[in-house]
Chains A and B, each alone.
Chain A
Amino acid sequence: MATAVITPERENYLNQEYGIKSWLLTVDHKRIALLYLVSITFFFFIGGFFALLIRLELLTPAGDLVQADTYNKLFTMHGQVMVFFFLIPSIPAVLGNFLVPLMIGAKDLAFPRINLLSWYLYITAGVLMLHCICTGGVDTGWTFYTPFSTAFSNTKVVEAGVAIFIAGFSSILTGLNFVVTIHRMRAPGMTWSRLPLFIWAHYATSVIQLLGTPVLAITLLLVVFERVFHLGIFDPTRGGDPLLFQHLFWFYSHPAVYIMILPAMAVESEVVACFTRKRIFGYNFVAMSSIAIAVFGFLVWAHHMFVAGISLYSALIFSALSYLVAVPSAIKVFNWTATMYKGSITFTTPMLYAFGFIGLFTMGGLTGLFLAALGIDVHVTDTYFIIAHFHYIMVGGAVMGYLGGLHFWWPKISGRMYPEWLGKFAALIVFLGFNLTFFPQFILGYMGMPRRYWQYPPEFQVLNVLSTAGSTILAVGYVLPMIYFLWSMRYGKPAPDNPWNAAGLEWKTSSPPPTFNFDQPPVVNFEAYDYEHIPEVEEVPVV
């Protein structure tokens, strides 16, 4: 690289142009990533606010804080906002957008304008969703189950459906952009076997986005048509089958879990490699397990429907297939653990999140085994057990991965260091708050407390109080990083190009990178995670 000396005036993607227009009309993947960062953070706190209200309502067995209808809208919109407006775009659209071109040595994504279009689609969908929320909201549950959503709910189902339909296209375009970029834009020498595992996981994610999302889109479109024109495709009184809706819905919405968790696994591999100073143990297996998850993830959807009235035989098939998808996830956990063996481990904030991720994802994954077991699923499905399970995956997994990744690449993104001690403190709070919130819900679930309950029998109260207490701690843990990230943008220590002494092309350019990413087009003549050839610096990196 041209220089290692940090000069704040150096031209980079942030200071090259100023003004609102330079942001709103940008085609630079890094700037679009920041646009996404701001918008998904906004929706994250909206969804989080709903979550807090839900937890507050559940503090007492009686429904005394909000009305039943309000509560139903709260959990519906919490789910829809968090799933479609935060989790699905979170890592791909922010970190992926920022890093995929940098990691493969490209100047930009293959279709910069489509990338911007995808953000505008997201914003259109978001505005529509906000409008829907502000003018009364929707109460179908994020799953839109028919015939409730098509014939019974008198809330803004159409609006929410259209919003998610549009958000789906944003997601499709992001995935399309990544696949083409990874195929066509790699720097000379960047062979498939040299790709960072981050890229492999994002590739797998994109495949799911491309092939799954359209099915959700058409399904929601049919729901909207059915609601408006009373078609009868999902309405049993007109000969339709409500289970068909569930099949189509889960065909996307199960793989959608992998859209959320695969990118977190992507972050995990980078962080673990960097802070153990090692090549990831079993690179090929970790890479292939991402692809395997993307494929197997499509074979298991009906395990959400074991008690819904599907045939016994198909329940058997889907249960067996569900165990198949557990194998590649297990492979990843084992490989990350093995990577630590004989490493040289430092406990930075991203690494703390990585530890948290492995722990929580392991627990989320293992409880998935319970749910895939037919006999147990009958008892625990639609209870708090399943709530706890998927929050362990989506919050314990995906959000921990997202936060870890944000800390890891923050110096690259902003050119500033965040306060490390605060970072560690927040990571600890998130971990503790999370477990206190969601662990009691496993027990609640097995005891039989159904999900989506506004009021509940009093014997469930103790565990609910614990959970609510945890959620307030968790909220603090989430607000902290937002504060100190904002603070660091102005007051943080200027970041060196490679603060973690990490491998990977993104660290070989300046922090923040120039608009076209690299001063000289990079040529790759080293393997991924080439820590063997990166000498350790004497002092432990910025604490």
Chain B
Amino acid sequence: MFDNLPLWPARASAGAGNVDALYIFLLLLSGFMCLAIFTMIVVFALRYRRQPGRVAEQIEGSTALEITWSVVPLGIFMVIFVWGAFIFFQERTPPRDASEIYIVAKQWMWKLEHVEGQREINELHVPVGRDVKLIMTSQDVIHSFYVPAFRIKQDVLPGRYTTAWFRATKPGVYHLFCAEYCGSQHSGMIGQVVVMEPAQYEAWLSGGSSSGSLASNGESIFQQLGCVTCHRSESQGRGPNLVGIFGKPVQLEDGRMVIADENYIRESILSPSAKVVKGFKPIMPVFQGLVSEEQLTGLVAYVKSLSAPSAAGSKTQESKVQ
């Protein structure tokens, strides 16, 4: 009902309402505090203005008052903290089955890739009601993916993946901003998020020029770079078997355990010796500088697809290798 008031942007994601609720609570709280303090100041200033024959009354202070106005605000602050942390936790925990979109930011554009293979620039099409997880990296400086209507923002860093997620709730076209200063055309690094009804979205998806799914693209890169010669699906390969490893703990040569997430796969491609899997030798060549961010995205998507039991990618892999 407040959508036409220019006090906040459109509320188009599942999380936006939560953020606004806390915001409104804080507005009311702050409004009340301001009102209370300003009223007191005005009343004191008028009531106790200098008048002939009246002298100021010296008051030393009051420990009880001091403790009150320290502890009570602290209590309120802790409520705000817990509330804010709760929202943050939701914002930072993508649902397990969220569909994924890979984003590569560069000076000064957004390149987005759907798992189905659609590529977009400065434009993101998503259907209403679907959980969407963004897996983002930058190929130069720090950027920040910001959609005010979704109340989400996440810095996009070079050299690693950061994630964000949302579930759009209202069809429309919304701003996509780069929120971290990134050079000359920082303010030109904007785009739009188009939220569509599921049926329209399917139409859009089938209409676009797709050159195969992200995972299958990744698979062909996997072949081209010769990864397949060592990473075979039987365990005798010189490199670890990649089927089913995504999201699982991996025992390392030096005894540590890591979870094979996107950042681990990324690091293992670019700088393989950093975390060597137990039982294998650090013989894999370094790919830092040899693969582009887009190729990496494909590779990561491919490795992930090997762990999804129903995904088409893993089947083709098995059939090819065996």
Contacts and interface: CB of A to CB of B under 8 A. Distances in A.
Direct A–B contact present (CB less than 8 angstroms): yes
Interface of A: 63, 68-69, 72, 139-141, 145, 147-148, 151-153, 236-237, 239, 242-243, 276-279, 281-285, 306-309, 312, 315-316, 319-320, 323-324, 326-327, 330-331, 333-335, 337-338, 340-347, 355, 358-359, 362-363, 366-367, 369-370, 372-379, 381-383, 443, 446-448, 450-457, 459, 462, 531-532, 536, 538, 540
A139 B181 CA distance: 10
Q: Which 5 A-B pairs have the closest CB atoms?
A: A448-B148, A375-B87, A236-B159, A373-B84, A374-B88
A contacts with B: majority SS: helix
Interface stretch (B74-82, B204-212, B236-244): B74-82
Given A450-B177, A450-B179, A455-B188, A375 B37 contact: no
A72 B189 CA distance: 14
A455 B87 CA distance: 31
Contacts of B177: 448, 450
Nearest to A359: B38
B contacts with A: majority SS: mixed
Interface in B58-93: 58-62, 65-66, 69-70, 73-74, 77-78, 80-81, 83-89, 91-92
A36 to B, nearest CB: 31
Interface string B86-129: 11110110000000000000010000000000000000000000
Given A312-B89, A369-B80, A382-B153, A447 B148 contact: yes
Given A284-B61, A341-B48, A452-B187, A242 B158 contact: yes
Contacts of A382: 144, 146, 153, 179-180
Interface in B130-185: 140-142, 144, 146, 148-149, 151-155, 157-160, 162, 175, 177-185
6 contacts: A152-B140, A279-B60, A282-B61, A330-B70, A343-B57, A381-B179
Contacts of B144: 307, 382
B77 A327 contact: yes
A268 B34 CA distance: 18
A376 B37 contact: no
| Chain A CB within 10 A, most for which of B50, B70, B162 | B50
A340 B41 contact: yes
B22 interface: yes
B59 A342 contact: yes
Contact of A145 (B45, B151, B181, B190): B181
B7 interface: yes
B271 interface: yes
Interface residues of B, number: 87
Nearest to A351: B45
| Chain B CB within 10 A, most for which of A140, A343, A347, A370 | A343
Nearest to A330: B73
A447 B155 contact: no
Given A327-B74, A373-B80, A447-B6, A147 B141 contact: yes
Contacts of B40: 337, 340
Given A369-B30, A456-B187, 19 more contacts: A72-B186, A237-B158, A279-B60, A282-B65, A319-B81, A320-B78, A323-B80, A335-B66, A342-B56, A343-B56, A344-B49, A359-B38, A373-B26, A373-B80, A374-B87, A375-B87, A381-B179, A382-B153, A450-B178
A327 B7 contact: no
| Chain A CB within 10 A, most for which of B26, B30, B38, B59 | B59
Nearest to B54: A344
Nearest to A463: B6
B56 A278 contact: yes
Nearest to A312: B92
Contact of A366 (B33, B57, B159): B33
Nearest to A366: B30
B37 A342 contact: no
Contact of A341 (B22, B44, B142): B44
A370 B26 contact: yes
Contacts of B84: 319, 372-377
B280 interface: no
Contacts of B157: 236, 242-243, 308-309
